Amino acid sequence: MARDPEAPPARLYLITPPLDAAAPFDKALASALGAGDVACVLVRFATNDPGQRKAILRALIPLAQDNGAALLVDGDAQLAARAGADGAHVAGAAALEEALESLKPERIVGVGGLDTRDECMSAGEQDIDYLMFGAPGDPATADEILERTRWWAEIFNVPCVAFAHELDGVVALADAGAEFIALASAVWTDKRGPAAAVAGATAQCAGALA
């Protein structure tokens, strides 16, 4: 089933590399945010130090929000609330329950890392803002993510975030009905720079409607 031609283009959901400081990544993020239609930034951490994590968020939250993007915290709903982030992304049913209790209804809660269709449907019946298929380091292949995205988009109204391993996977996922396309290293390691990668991905999302 192709994407509804009357639906708005899919938007981008950027996933940061694991960070132990905001700089110098903040410059790359600013470049990316200014180059296309980015709806959301998911911050991942390379440090377990609470102070460092909070400092990273305090630097990146206004940067994202000033560019019209929500900023979510990976895997830590309580930190998201304390730091003033827009919400959190969690993996698995147990973490989802905790995040919903901590953050709803004021903040965004998204979930991924669900292995079965039954788990996905159960999550979709709760007060989540989106469900994600695939992620950096997830063993799911591009074809598996595409198949799961197509299945979800045909049946459910809860928005879907679909992870594209490479930029050339954006069109297929957008055409399959994903409301958001998640990108990670495909943006940050692009030899042309993150701005060019985001601009190209935004154009591909729009092109999926053609």
Residue 127 resides in a domain: yes
pLDDT at 185: 96
Cα–Cα distance for residue pair 162/174, rounded to 1 Å = 8
Residue 3 resides in a domain: no
The three-class DSSP label of residue 48 is: coil
The three-class DSSP label of residue 63 is: helix
Residue 5 resides in a domain: no
Residue 74 resides in a domain: yes
Residue 133 resides in a domain: yes
Residue 190 resides in a domain: yes
pLDDT at 1: 44
What are the DSSP calls for 80-95, one per residue? Answer: HHHHT-SEEEEESHHH
Q: Give the CATH number, domain containing residue 194.
A: 3.20.20.70
pLDDT at 7: 75
pLDDT at 8: 85
Digit-by-digit pLDDT tens for the chain (210 residues) are 445 566 789 999 999 999 999 999 999 999 999 999 999 999 999 999 999 999 999 999 999 999 999 999 999 999 999 999 999 999 988 899 999 999 999 999 999 999 899 999 999 999 999 999 999 999 899 999 999 999 999 999 999 999 999 999 999 999 999 999 999 999 999 999 999 999 999 999 987 655
Strand partners, 87: 72, 108
Cα–Cα distance for residue pair 70/41, rounded to 1 Å = 6
Number of folded domains that form the chain: 1
Structural domain containing residue 68: 11-207
Residue 63 resides in a domain: yes
Q: Does this model's pTM top 0.85?
A: yes
With beta carbons less than 8 A apart as the criterion, state whether 10 and 203 touch. Answer: no
pLDDT at 206: 87
Strand partners, 15: 42
Token output for 5: 């031609």
